[in-house]
């Protein structure tokens, strides 16, 4: 059993041995002491200092103990690894948690395969990593629900390898082939998918009574969409790279929840969408600035009603004392900025805001609050708590003619509306978060499977982990599984890639035994101290 040294250069510490010998030889340089007589000293056996007769070199016990300690410390520093005695190996099972694993019973097949592998060979310990958007450890397959819109297998495999150690084996259970060939080693890839034809919803949106649906189809498979609609139905079809055909439908729907379904096929998760109407009342805005472009941008949001009596947001061109306000500073005599613009993308006011090619005229000077949009070092938009300031000179700008203008005002309306009671969005994607402002201290959340829990206000975040209709107190929102990559089953495969090589199976791994050497060195040093103390005591 030959130890493997991870840091053999540490053995250079053995150079201390000659130094130790030199010290002991130096110590043998004798100091002088007068004694009463030599008759008692003659009884002490002396090591020979030289001569023709060979005698065994006599070194004290302390020398040998120090030598042992040096050797052990040097060897421990070299990181010795010894093969482990145990024949069982750690195993981490990485489970693809994406929606496509629901198709064709891939999940069930994967679980059966994993259990058969566990029965064939002894693994210890066995860990499970659920590979969703963010990988996580779970105790058993019960937590593997295959309801993630995406699966980051690379991150999950990296987590498995780092957490379980270099000796662990990894078994990946998924429905598609790996991106790159796998060589024999620690990772084994097993896929249980099949290139099935599937029809499913990949996008769904609702604005008022207008619904937009996108259906992905892979062939001439006939499809039928069931759902109540009225009025004109717009149909269009596009083909994406990779062969996926997207059919878009725009419908007018009555008030109330709208549900659309497709025929049963290989994957059921994408055969149904439910879209709830946005029941948020329009934002009451007091427009106290004479600017038609602002008014048209606000009205274009369809989320605003002008109300100068009980406004929830005041738009003005003067300094305002209102609680929620937007100050538009029309100062002239400024400069026409053409960029580059510095945009704080973490701020909700800049969502979808693109200023390429925009000429933004504004007076120079500082602005109170946190800058959100700057031209160089000149703030153009700033937020100060509940107050937004926009510095804008329309006479030397083209911003109000660009799509960025209504986008900015849409963000301002959403920014204020997000503080009002109710849901921020009436429909969310599976796995996304729904944000709700509560008017009561607590509210009961009811999932589509009727499980309930309580959340506390004034605001709550609900993870939409199931498709269907969720209820949060008096509010409801819809959750839909909309993932084109998961609906497209044409790339799914079954098979095995990569093998656990013989070395990985027969070798039980290595154990760092430096701690054993350190303990022995410690014992040697303790013995050295006792010997030294005993010599002193006598």
Q: Which residues sit at the interface with other proteins, rule CB under 8 A?
A: 27-47, 49, 58, 60-62, 531, 534-536, 538
Where does residue 499 rank: exposed (0-12), middle (13-18), buried (19+ CB within 10 A)?
middle
For residues 62 and 320, which CB has a smaller minimum distance to other proteins in the complex? Answer: 62
For residues 43 and 119, which CB has a smaller minimum distance to other proteins in the complex? Answer: 43
Q: In this structure, are residues 482 and 201 in contact, taking their beta carbons and an 8 Å threshold?
A: yes
Q: How far is the CB of 527 from other proteins (least distance, A)?
A: 13
Per DSSP (E only), the strands in 410-474 are: 422-423, 427-429, 433-437, 442-446, 452-456, 459-463, 468-472
Pairing status of strand 452-456 against strand 427-429:
unpaired
For residues 34 and 356, which CB has a smaller minimum distance to other proteins in the complex? Answer: 34
For residues 28 and 197, which CB has a smaller minimum distance to other proteins in the complex? Answer: 28
Q: How far is the CB of 164 from other proteins (least distance, A)?
A: 52
Alpha-carbon distance of 62 to 429, in angstroms, equals 74
- 82 DSSP β-pair partners: 511
3-class SS of residue 483:
coil
Which token pair is 128?
């499970």
What is the distance, to the nearest Å, from the Cα of residue 486 to the centroid of all Cα atoms in its chain? Answer: 19
- 470 DSSP β-pair partners: 477
Q: How far is CA 394 from CA 15, 158, 331, 334, in A?
A: 80, 53, 10, 11
Q: How far is the CB of 51 from other proteins (least distance, A)?
A: 13
Q: How far is the CB of 530 from other proteins (least distance, A)?
A: 10
Q: How far is the CB of 17 from other proteins (least distance, A)?
A: 20
Q: How far is the CB of 55 from other proteins (least distance, A)?
A: 14
Which token pair is 53?
């007769």
Alpha-carbon distance of 276 to 274, in angstroms, equals 7
For residues 32 and 119, which CB has a smaller minimum distance to other proteins in the complex? Answer: 32
For residues 30 and 85, which CB has a smaller minimum distance to other proteins in the complex? Answer: 30
Q: How far is the CB of 523 from other proteins (least distance, A)?
A: 19
Q: How far is the CB of 63 from other proteins (least distance, A)?
A: 10
For residues 47 and 357, which CB has a smaller minimum distance to other proteins in the complex? Answer: 47
Pairing status of strand 387-391 against strand 325-329:
parallel
For residues 36 and 321, which CB has a smaller minimum distance to other proteins in the complex? Answer: 36
For residues 220 and 538, which CB has a smaller minimum distance to other proteins in the complex? Answer: 538
For residues 4 and 41, which CB has a smaller minimum distance to other proteins in the complex? Answer: 41
Q: How far is the CB of 524 from other proteins (least distance, A)?
A: 17
Q: How far is CA 118 from CA 111, 121, 170, 193, 239, in A?
A: 11, 6, 12, 21, 44
Alpha-carbon distance of 15 to 13, in angstroms, equals 5
Q: In this structure, are residues 103 and 175 in contact, taking their beta carbons and an 8 Å threshold?
A: yes
Q: How far is the CB of 56 from other proteins (least distance, A)?
A: 14
Q: In this structure, are residues 408 and 341 in contact, taking their beta carbons and an 8 Å threshold?
A: no
For residues 3 and 60, which CB has a smaller minimum distance to other proteins in the complex? Answer: 60
Q: How far is the CB of 506 from other proteins (least distance, A)?
A: 51
- List, in order, residues 6 or more apart from 293 with CB less than 8 Å away: 394, 400, 405
- 387 DSSP β-pair partners: 325, 384
Where does residue 96 rank: exposed (0-12), middle (13-18), buried (19+ CB within 10 A)?
buried
């Amino acid at each position: 059993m030959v130890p493997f040294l991870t840091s053999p250069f540490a053995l250079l510490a053995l150079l201390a041995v000659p130094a130790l010998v030199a010290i002991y030889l130096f110590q043998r340089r004798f100091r002088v002491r007068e004694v009463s007589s030599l008759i008692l000293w003659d009884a002490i056996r002396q090591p020979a200092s030289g001569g023709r007769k060979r005698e065994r070199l006599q070194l004290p016990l302390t020398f040998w103990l120090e030598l042992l300690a040096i050797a052990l410390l040097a060897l421990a520093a070299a990181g010795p690894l010894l093969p482990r005695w145990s024949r069982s190996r750690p195993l981490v099972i990485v489970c693809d948690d994406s929606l496509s694993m629901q198709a064709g019973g891939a999940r069930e097949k994967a679980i059966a395969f994993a259990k058969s592998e566990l029965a064939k060979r002894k693994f210890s310990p066995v860990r499970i990593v659920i590979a969703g958007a963010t990988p996580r450890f779970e105790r058993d397959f019960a937590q593997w629900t295959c309801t993630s819109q995406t699966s980051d297998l690379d991150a999950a495999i990296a987590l498995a390898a780092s957490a379980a150690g270099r000796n662990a084996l990894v078994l990946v259970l998924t429905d598609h082939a790996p991106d790159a060939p796998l060589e024999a080693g620690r990772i084994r890839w097993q896929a249980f998918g099949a290139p099935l034809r599937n029809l499913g919803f990949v996008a769904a949106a609702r604005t008022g009574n207008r619904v937009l649906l996108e259906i992905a189809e892979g062939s001439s498979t006939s499809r039928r969409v069931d759902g109540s609609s009225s009025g004109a139905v717009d149909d269009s079809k596009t083909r994406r790279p990779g062969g996926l055909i997207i059919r878009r439908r725009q419908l007018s729907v009555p008030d109330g929840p709208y549900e659309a379904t497709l025929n049963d096929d290989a994957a059921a998760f994408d055969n149904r969408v439910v879209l709830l109407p946005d029941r948020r009342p329009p934002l009451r805005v007091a427009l106290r600035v004479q600017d038609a472009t602002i008014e048209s941008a606000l009205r274009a949001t369809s989320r605003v009603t002008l109300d100068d009596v009980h406004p929830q947001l005041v738009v003005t061109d003067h300094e305002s004392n209102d609680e929620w306000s937007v100050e538009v500073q029309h100062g002239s005599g400024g400069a026409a900025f053409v960029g580059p613009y510095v945009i704080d993308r973490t701020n909700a006011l800049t969502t979808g805001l693109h200023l390429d090619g925009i000429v933004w005229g504004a007076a120079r000077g500082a602005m109170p609050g946190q800058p959100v949009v700057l031209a160089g070092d000149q703030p153009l938009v700033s937020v100060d708590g509940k107050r937004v300031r926009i510095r804008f000179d329309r006479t030397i700008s083209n911003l109000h003619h660009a799509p960025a203008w209504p986008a900015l005002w849409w963000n301002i309306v959403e920014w204020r509306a997000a503080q009002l009671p109710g849901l921020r969005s009436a429909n969310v994607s599976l796995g996304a978060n729904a944000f709700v402002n509560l008017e009561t201290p607590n509210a009961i959340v009811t999932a589509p499977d009727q499980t309930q829990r309580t959340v506390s206000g004034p605001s709550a975040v609900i993870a939409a982990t199931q498709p269907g209709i969720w209820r949060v107190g008096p509010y409801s929102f819809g959750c839909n599984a909309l993932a084109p990559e998961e609906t497209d089953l044409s790339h799914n495969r079954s098979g095995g890639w990569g093998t656990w090589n013989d070395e990985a199976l027969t070798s039980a791994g290595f154990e760092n035994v430096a701690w054993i050497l350190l303990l022995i060195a410690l014992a040697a040093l303790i013995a050295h101290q006792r010997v030294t103390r005993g010599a002193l005591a006598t």
